[in-house]
Structure 1
Amino acid sequence: MSSSPRATGPAAAAGPDKARLRRSLREARAALDPVDRQRQSEALAFVVTQYLGGTAGRAADPASRRPTIAAYLGLDPEPDTAPLLRDLHRLGYGLAVPVCEPGYQLSWTAWAPGVPLRRSVRAPVLEPTGPRQAFEDLPDVALVLVPALAVDRSGHRIGQGGGYYDRFLARHPLGRPDAVPRLGAVYRSEVLPAGAIPAEPYDQPLQGVFTADGVLDTGTRRPPV
């Protein structure tokens, strides 16, 4: 993470430790059976819709206006978020997914089934081709779904190493009046014991994590009501 603050002392060891852990997690994820990955992805979609108070497969009520979910497009072997996005769209939620911008920043673009996608020029992800918005301009965001290679039970996350979400979460810290819940999404084997992921001073914790088995509350401080 090239523009992250430089750590000294014990935190300085987190970089090499994270690199080793990241390699191990990538190898373990790739080794998961593809059928099991897809089953877990479909179960994860059900868990998230239940968390949001919806029912997967139910059509949206035209009279109800649902909030926006800041999600992402999972790319194999990540958990497949396509089933979740389709279900949330049917339920009437607004959906926005990130676009990688210069300086390791994120903007957001609306997603709906059939929206044209293209490969990012800055990261190995797919991005919609529509108009881009700042996160602050998205209407009524109820949840930020955060990609991760793993999340530990104390809320620490390890990502792919690009630093986009680290910077995004740091600009929207917990504890602010406008803070939005942020939860990870991983395979069940990627929930690690508390303290298993090395933490650095600039790391931003998640409030919980979704898996095929349900929602794990990490006990991280929530925004004020």
Structure 2
Amino acid sequence: MNHSTLSFPDVSHLDPEEAKQQIRPIVRTSRAARSAAKREELEDQWIATALEFINGAELVAAFVSVNEEPPSHGLIQAIADSGKRVILPKLGPGLTRAWGYFRGLDDLEEMAPGRPPEPTGPAFDNDILADVDALIIPALAVSHAGARLGQGGGWYDRALKLASGRARIGAMIFPEEFVEADLPQDENDVRIPFVILPDRVVATELP
């Protein structure tokens, strides 16, 4: 499969959630066509690019990649090795959305079926995001205008609303997932100011 571009059907006649359901499988199919070796090659590029993006940050929120997502395990370790503190998504009491401090890759465990591995230590609610200096978040696609298409769980839409206005926010996506066409959005979606591609960071054209 050619990974130079992604094209989506016209979904303008659908409501946002239906439109997203039409687009997500296209991105997932594209990701599945990329070899594990190629993802590992791109991860080495991403580490240097993302470290430059968060330069000056002390507390960084990141994510643990699964399946064919842009690989983040090596990046998380590299961020920690650079002397920064890292928090990762974690289920809190009553399956609430929370965060935990990264304490090494060996500490990450799958706490719930279908969930990415997460830190085993204490859970902190979203209030901790007020202290975060930079967020590196996942996405399936981002438009040039900053519209983000996520997996559909709403985790990061909630988190982004609580992030400090000074925090630097970037979505980590494959190059072909940075698309010119706008993506369906609803009132819960938050536009993203930057995309983190393997070899560069690009500012979106926020409305």
Tell me the amino acid that sits aligned with residue 34 of structure 1. A
Q: In structure 2, how many angstroms separate the alpha carbons of the residues matched to 1:218 and 1:104?
A: 33
Root mean square deviation, CA, Å: 2.5
d(CA) in 2 for partners of 1:206, 1:20 = 21
Once the two structures are superposed, residues 56-89 of structure 1 have per-residue CA deviations (whole angstroms, 9 ceiling, x without a partner) of xxxxxxxxxx611001111121111112112111
Whole-Å Cα distance in 2 between the matches of residues 107 and 122 of structure 1? 17
Q: 2:24 aligns with which of 16, 22, 25?
A: 22
Q: CA, structure 1 residues 77+185, in 2 after alignment: closer, same or farther (shift >3 Å)?
A: same
Instruction: Compute the displacement of 1:103 (Å).
Output: 8.1
Question: 1:49 and 2:60 equivalent?
Answer: no
Q: Aligned to 2:47, what secondary structure does the other structure show? A: helix
Per-residue deviation, 1:112: 2.8
SS at match of 1:109: strand
The change in CA–CA distance for 1:16 and 1:29 in structure 2 (over 3 A counts) is same
Shift of 1:121: 2.0
**Whole-angstrom distance in 1 between the partners of 2:120 and 2:35:** 32
Q: Deviations over 1:186-210 (max 9, x none)?
A: 1112111141x11212210111110
Q: Which amino acid aligns with 2:64?
A: L
- Structure 1 position 217 matched with structure 2 position 203: yes
Deviation digits for residues 128-173 of structure 1, max 9, x if unmatched? 110111243368421111111111111111111111112222344x
Q: Quote the offset at 1:102 in angstroms.
A: 7.1
TM-score by length of 1: 0.77
Equivalent in 93, 96, 107 of residue 98 of structure 2: 107
1:94 maps to: 85
SS of 1:199 mapped into structure 2: coil
In structure 2, list runs of 5 or more residues that go unmatched: 1-11
Tell me, in whole angstroms, the C-alpha distance in 1 between the residues paired with 2:94 and 2:29: 29
Q: Distance in 2 between matches of 1:150 and 1:188?
A: 9
**Which of 111, 115, 137 is the equivalent residue of 2:128?**
137
Partner of 2:59: 68
> C-alpha separation between the residues in 2 aligned to 1:171 and 1:153?
23
Deviations 1:17-65 (A, max 9, x none): 11010011111111112211111122111101122338xxxxxxxxxxx
Q: String of CA shifts for 1:104-127, please: whole Å, max 9, x gaps.
A: 852111113244222142643111
| TM-score, structure 2 as length reference | 0.84
Q: Which moved more, 1:19-28 or 1:198-207?
A: 198-207
Percent identical residues: 26
Structure 1 regions of 5+ residues with no counterpart? 1-9, 55-65
The one-letter amino acid paired with 1:32 is R
Matched, 1:191 2:178: yes
Residue 3 of structure 1: aligned partner: none
- Are the counterparts in 1 of residues 46 and 75 from structure 2 also a CA contact under 8 Å? yes
Of residues 31-40 and 113-122 in structure 1, the stretch that sits farther from structure 2 once superposed is 113-122
